[in-house]
Structure 1
Amino acid sequence: MTAIRRTAAAAALLLALPLSAVATAAPALAATAPAASTAPVGVQVELPRPTGPFAVGRQILHLTDRSRTDPWVPSAGPRQLMVSMYYPAKAGTGGPAPYMTPEAARLMLDVKLPGNTIPTEVVTGTRTWSRTDALPQHGRFPLVVLSPGYTMPRTELTALAEDLSSRGYVVALVDHTYENTGTTFPDGHTTTCEACEFPPSDEQLATFAESRPKDVSFVLDRLTDRGRPAWRYAHLIDRDRIGMAGHSLGGAAAVPALLTDDRIRAGANLDGTMFVPVPATGLKGKPFLMIGRPLDGPDDPSWTESWSHLDGWKRWLTVAGSDHGSFTDIPLFFEKLGLPQSPETTVTAARGIQLTRQYVAAFFDLQLKGVPQRILDGPTPVNPEIGFHP
C-alpha cells in the first residue's frame, strides 16, 4: 500500500467516527469535538418511512463460523457474527423491532461522545418501521448484503435496509464483530471494539481485506444452504440474484467480496476509500456503483484508480453538500440532539437518506431485477445534488 493510499484510507476510516471519537483518536485529521452532550427532553428519533409497497419484517441471526478462528480475538474461538435479516412481510403481523440493544447503544454513545450524558433510551427508543417475526410475503426476492463502516454498529444502515426490503429485497445486515463499538449476542454479552487502532496499521488493513469478505461469504453459505439454512425464511432468497453494498469500510469491502465470491453479482460502495483497489484486471465484468461526497482538491486516488479499472457497468455519483455520514442513519441523531456536523454539510439527514435509498435501490433494481432506471443515465432536475463523474 502506497503512503498516499494509506493516508487516504486512514482519513476515510476515521471519518466514520463522528464527533469527539475522531478528535480524540486523530486530532490532526478531525475537528475538535463538543464537550459532554445532553439530550433534549422528550426527544425521539424516527427513521424515514420506507418507500416500497411491502411491509418489512426483521429477524436476528447468531451465526458461528467453526471453520476459522476470530481474526481479532483468537482466544474467543470461532468467528461469531450477528446478522439482522430484513424481508418483505405481510402488513399487520409481528411486533415492534428495537433499533439496537441498550448495552450496544450505551457503548456507541460513550465511545463517540466522551463525557456523554445522553441516555441510551434516546437511541434504543428510535422509531423503526420493521416488525419482529412478521409473516413473510410469498415469492422469491433478490438478496442484498449490507456491511457497515469501521467502528459503526450495523444499525447505522437500518433505514437503507428497511427501504430495500419494502421494495422487494431480502437484506442481510451484518455486524463485523470486534470492528465496531459493540455487538450484543443472545447470551447477553456485548463485545467491544478490538480493531480500533488509529490510524489503522498495514496489518489491520490487510486483516480487514481478508476478514470482511470471509464474513460475507460465510453469511451467504448459511443463508443459501440447500440442506439446513440458518434462517427459517431462507426460501425467500433467490440464490441467483445477490448483491452487496456497504458504507465506508463496508463499501470498500465490496471490492474483495466481489472478487472472491462469484455468487455476488453487483456491488455498491457508499463513500468508502478502497483499501483494496479494483485490480487492473477488473471485477470480472460485474457492475459497480460508487456514490460519495464531492472531494476537495485531488480525487481520492483509490477511487480514481479503481474507476479506471472497472470493466463492467459502472457509475460514480457525488452528492453535493453531503459528508461521510450522510449515507447512514447517524445524521438523524445529530439533528435531533442538536449536535454539530461538519460546516460544509448542507444536505439534511432525511435528504441524505432519501438520495442514498433512491440510487442504491435503482442500482440493484437494474442489476438484479433487470428493470431500467433512468435516474442512472445522467443528471436530473429532481435530484440536483447528484453529480455524475465522467
Structure 2
Amino acid sequence: MSKYNILTLKNGLRIIHLPSDSQVVYCGIAVKVGTRHERTDISISEEGLAHFCEHLSFKGTERRTSVQIINSIEGLGGELNAFTNKEDTVFYCAIQAKHMKKAVDVLCDIVFHSTYPQNEVEKEREVVCDEIESYEDSPAELIFDEIENILFEGHPLGHNILGTSEQVRQYTSEDARRFTARYYRPDNCVFFASGNVNFKRLATWLRASCKDNTHISERSENLEILEKPENQPERLLIRHRGTHQAHVIIGSRAYAADDKRRWALYLLNNILGGPGLNSRLNLSLRERNGLVYSVESSMVCYGDTGCWCTYFGCDPHDVKRCCRLVRRELDRLIKNPLSTSQLLKAKQQLQGQLAIASDSREQFALDFAKNFLHQGKERDLSDIMQHIDSLTSQDLQQVAREIFDPEQITTLIYE
C-alpha cells in the first residue's frame, strides 16, 4: 500500500501528503507553469513573466498586504519561499505542525487570490532587473542558461528563466493577471505536505481556502506540451566576455522524464562528474593534472526532452587541454564497458548519495511534489534504487554512445 495520502478535490486540486512524526511540516503548492509555457506568439512576448509573477504573488492579495503575507508565516517562526523553473513554479514553507491551518490559508491566498497591484509591479520590476543584472555578472551561472538556449534554439525551453530587463520593464498588472489566470488554477496545481498532519483536516482546510475556485477551467489547451526542437546546434561556440578565468560547458540533448534510458545516464553522469571527489573528471582534471578547482556534470529531464552537460573553469591557456581530457573520459565510457566491480561500486555510491539526500525532508518534499505534479506518481526511493540495480554495463555503454557522441556534443566557451 502507498505510504502517501492522496486526494483530488472537486475543483481539480490534487493533494499529496507524506505522514511522519515530525512536528515540522514542509508544505506548499506546485504550479505546472514555467518558462516553457511563456507565449511568444502574441504582441508582447511573455519571456520572464512566469518568474515575475512568482515575485508579484507575494505583493498583496484580496485579504493581505505584502507585509502581512511576510509576517503571517515568518511571525510564527516559519519560512516562506518560492522558485520558478522551466516547467513549474513552487510556493512552499516550513512551519510547526500546530500552525498548519494558517500555512494552508496563506499559501492558497498567495497562489489563488493575489491582486498584482500596479504600484507593486513597478517596484518589483526593479528588484527583478537587479537580479538579472547580478546574474549576468556571474558567467559560471550564465553559461548554463546559454547552453540550454543553444541546445533548444527557438524553443521556450531555452529561454532564460529571469527574462531580460527590457522585457520585465514592459510588464503591467494586467499582464500578470492574464498569465496567472491561465495557469494558477487548482486543476493545474498540487498541494504537498510532509509531516505530522491530520489528512482529513488538511483536505477540509484546502476546500475552505479554495472555495472561490470550485470549477475546473476549460482552458486546458494552454497546457499542451510544446513541440520539441529538432534542429542540430553548432558544435563549438566562443564568447569573448573578458573574464579572468575561462568558463567551459560541454553538453548535448538528452532524455525526457519518462524515458527509461535516463536511469543509465543518471549513473553515467555520477561516474563522470557527480559530487564525489572520486568522479572521473575530478580525478583527471584536478587531482592528476591540477588544471581546475572544480569540475561537475549534470542532467535535467523535461516533459519531452532533456539535456546533459559538464562544466569547468580554468586558466584560458588550459582550455584545449581540459577539453581533450574531458573528451578522453567520454570516449572511455563509449568504448570500454564497465567491469562487474566498477559497475557495482558506481551503483553503491549513487545509491548511498540518494539515501543521504533523502534525509533532507524539505528537499524530499519538493522532489515528490514535482514528481506528482508532472507524472502523477509518488516518489518512491526504493523504486529508484531498483532501477539503478537493474542497470547493466551494456545499458550504460549504449547511452554513452548516444549522448556523448562527438557529433551530438556542443561546446560553449567564455573567455
TM-score by length of 1: 0.24
Higher helix share: 2
Higher relative contact order (CA 8 A, sep 6+): 2
Whose radius of gyration is greater, 1 or 2?
2
